[in-house]
A and B are shown apart, each in its own frame.
Chain A
Amino acid sequence: MKSIRTAAALTAVGALALGALTACATEPAVDPNAPVTLKVAIDAGLEQGAIDAFDARVDQFEDKYPNISVERQEYNWTGTTFAAELAGGTIPDVFTVPFTDGRGLIERGQLADISGIVADLPYAEEFNPNVALAGEDAEGNMWAVPIAAYGQGLHYNRALFEAAGLDPDSPPTTWDEVREAAKAIADETDAAGYAQMTSSNTGGWILTTLDYALGGRLEEVDGEEATSTIDTPEVAEALGLLHDMRWDDNSMGSNFLYDWGTINQDFAAGRIGMYVSGGGNYGSLVTQNAMNPDDYGVTVLPLADGGDAGVLGGGTLAAVSAKADAATQAAAVKWIDFYYIEKLTDKAAAQADAKALFDADAPVGAPTLPVFDKALYDENLTWVDEYINVPVEQMTPYTDNIFSQPLIPEPTKSTQEIYALLDPVVQAVLTDKNADIEKLLAEAQASAQAIIDRG
């Protein structure tokens, strides 16, 4: 076994050496004109028209910065393989990450610290503060740049509303109305009135969304200390609502193991009346799940009275791989500025991007939230007005009201692990009539606190 021990020891030494080398990589004083090759991410599975549009942008970028040579690489964020791909060097230098994973990656040092370079950008101070939080470390330095933001919304099927005798232009505005609408849909049609995600950490995600909408929080953070506040009246109220809809009204159908992809499928197929998810889901529903655009409607989540209720925010960050050296990081920030941010701030770039999406039959104009401020966001919408191809009239219950709802970032400590331990809580409530909600919450809070303390 000596060769194995040697191999193992050598591997460990190699890993440590690699760690030491990457730590040395964040040195300042880089020659801005030295030639650099930058690998950037492009979505996988695009039509040729979209790829051509991307290449055109790459050419413009290379004209602007002659010393940077850009190579595109297909990459879609995949949480399960990210660490291995990063270690293996198969990740592009610049890629996008959802908000919910950003904080964890920053804490584990899997992203490059580009905060110094980002701070020099002209708009560095103008990000919407709630949106910028997702890409910042504990000290407030921006390690990843927010490029898109959304708020949670209540999606509903207009056709099912009509079939149930409800008015699709007047969706529910309180949770009681949601419950009544769900019951009407379940009674009058074959579909489930209301459905909720419960698997692959989405159970915790949506439960947190409901908690925020009822005025609660999942964690209280005080400097370095964090306290889990899962065992609180608001979470219990959210679970109680689900319990009543499931067991008293029988309005939640018969499938309780949904995750993000499968609930979109069933909603697009007309088997679900209402569900809570990210506000910009229209694209996934129509292009990936062939939903009939006429059936789609979205409204804001009902918020409880009182100051603390708000809507959980999500979005996308542009990040730089931890393995990029200083020169590559500088080039990467230039790319992020050019490709991701310019379409938010510059009219020509915004129109070019919208046109490319429009020509590729991708949705333009699905509801999002401002990354900077509302004025710029509204102006952006006027620039791309001619390319908007989504049924905006059907989305007015959302777009008219979302900007007045407080935007709350996700819990910051051990987010994914806490979501994971809330999945079985939601599943238990929905599959076991006699589930003891108080006991489940007490146990969940204890486990969550242990995870926070350890992490």
Chain B
Amino acid sequence: MTDTLVKPDLSVLATPPPAPPRRRRIFRWFRGIHTLVFLLPLLVSFIVFSWIPIGRAVVMSFQKTNLITTQFVGIENFERVLSDPLLGTAVVNTLWFALLALLFGYPLPLITAVLMSEVKRAKGLFSALAYLPVVVPPVVAVLLWKFFYDASPTGVFNEILGYVGLGPFPWLQDAASAMPALVVEATWASAGGTIIIYLAALTSVAPELYDAAEVDGASIWKKIWHVTLPQLRGVLLITFILQIIGTAQVFLEPYLFTGGGPANSTITVLLLIYQYAFQNSLGGDYGSATALSIMLAVVLGLLTAVYFRLTKGWSS
């Protein structure tokens, strides 16, 4: 009987392979240049529109400048920002927005996607309807909702709620209800994209798992809890961190709905940055704005790093 187990010839590993002939080396180098040339436009635009401005912002955070006259002031901008009482308010408001968006806006697309995946007919129609708010330009959506949120008894929402006997609400005109009102609109505007992602992810769940759960006598909720959610873990992870990063940078809703009011109850960190740079000082305080931007970027970067570290073992 011949020895079918062939011992590998390990001597091959001891010496490096001979260098390819010169022509092939040039060809390989030439192919590398090709890659670089195709990458160049992307690299240039990335450098010019992303990396240089970021570098400029870092430098500006140590300066007092109005773009005409500039002087270096060390960490004075950071001290000024950290001692601003509005910063505390802005951070708390941003966290409050993030929490509300998490409680209300994170489960909603998931539940909707699960429900929609159970529908047998007209799936495309439901997907289109779900995605429609995403297609509406954000500024248009906000201005529309601002009109709906009119606090007088004849405002659209108040009128509709008045039919069922619910009294006129102040919506944006009251410090307690302004932020939740913003979260409702933000969720409406962005849920569609997440729904589509979840719908796609749900198709990857093997139907045999559901059959197995059925055999074990699981109800629909148990099936969702024990089969769907664990299978979707990877996607849920990503959408969670994206939501946190997105809500930490919320600007459009507070800016257009309330301008940070009433009484600073909807001012967020990014709106504060905008006010430093453009509203209060007519361009005299770019230093504080960039200082706060840098600090926000660092915090979000740390948060993301910690998050991925903690959840390293979770995704499949």
Q: Interface of A with B (CB < 8 Å)?
A: 4-5, 7-9, 11-12, 15-16, 18-19, 22, 79-84, 86-87, 101, 104-105, 108-110, 190, 198-201, 253-257, 259, 322-323, 416-417, 420, 423-425, 427-428, 430-432, 435, 447, 454
Is B68 part of the contact surface with A, judged by Cβ < 8 Å? yes
> Quick one: which of B220-276 are within 8 Å of A by CB?
258-264, 275
Compute how far the CA of A253 lies from the CA of B262 in the bound complex, rounded to whole angstroms: 15
Question: Is there contact, CB below 8 Å, between B85 and A15?
Answer: no
A19 vs B69: C-alpha distance in the bound complex, in angstroms? 5
Option from A79, A81, A200 in Cβ contact (under 8 Å) with B259: A200
| Interface contact B263-A424, CB-CB below 8 Å | yes
Cβ B63 vs Cβ A4 within 8 A? no
Q: How many residue pairs bridge A and B at CB < 8 Å?
A: 141
Cβ of B151 < 8 Å from any Cβ of A?
Answer: yes
With A79-B278, A200-B279: A108-B67 Cβ-Cβ less than 8 Å: no
- B residues less than 8 Å from A420 (CB atoms): 275, 279-280
Apart from A420-B279, A432-B262, A432-B263, list 7 A-B contacts with CB within 8 A.
Answer: A87-B67, A110-B283, A255-B151, A257-B261, A257-B262, A416-B279, A427-B262
CB neighbours of A454 from chain B (8 A) = 80
User: Contact partner of B70 among A7, A16, A83, A254, CB < 8 A?
Assistant: A16
Q: Which chain B residues numbered 168 to 199 have a C-beta less than 8 Å away from chain A? A: 168, 170, 172-175
Could you say which residues of chain B place their CB within 8 Å of the CB of A8?
Answer: 52, 55-56, 58-59
Q: With A and B bound together, what is the CA distance between A435 and B174 in angstroms?
A: 12
Q: Which of B54, B85, B259 contacts A199 (CB 8 A)?
A: B259
- B284 an interface residue at 8 Å Cβ cutoff? yes
B151 close to A259 (CB less than 8 A): no
Tell me, rounded to whole Å, the shortest Cβ–Cβ distance linking A88 to chain B. 8
Known contacts A12-B63, A104-B284; A4/B55 CB under 8 A:
yes
Q: List 29 A-B contacts (CB under 8 A).
A: A4-B52, A4-B54, A4-B55, A5-B55, A7-B52, A8-B58, A12-B59, A15-B70, A19-B69, A22-B69, A79-B282, A80-B279, A80-B282, A83-B283, A83-B284, A104-B281, A108-B282, A108-B284, A110-B66, A190-B154, A200-B279, A254-B170, A416-B282, A424-B260, A424-B262, A428-B175, A428-B263, A431-B261, A431-B262
B315 within 8 A of A: no
Task: Decide yes or no: A257 and B67 within 8 Å by CB, A7-B55, A424-B264 being known contacts.
Answer: no
**B51 on the interface (CB 8 Å rule)?**
yes
B68/A87 in contact, CB under 8 A: yes
The reply to whether B69 and A109 contact each other, CB–CB distance below 8 Å, is yes
- Residues of chain A with a CB closer than 8 A to B262's CB: 198, 256-257, 424, 427-428, 430-432
Q: Is the CB of B261 within 8 A of A424?
A: yes
Contact assessment for A431 and B173 in the assembled complex, using a CB-CB cutoff below 8 Å = yes
Chain B residues with Cβ below 8 Å from A110 are 66, 68, 282-283
With A12-B59, A12-B63 known as contacts, the answer to whether A417 contacts B175 (CB < 8 A) is: no
Residues of B within 8 A of A82 (CB): 282-283
CA distance A110 to B286 in the complex (A): 15
Q: How far is the CB of A354 from chain B (nearest CB, A)?
A: 33
Q: Are B281 and A257 in contact (CB under 8 A)?
A: no
Cβ of B281: which chain A residues have Cβ within 8 Å of it? 104, 416-417
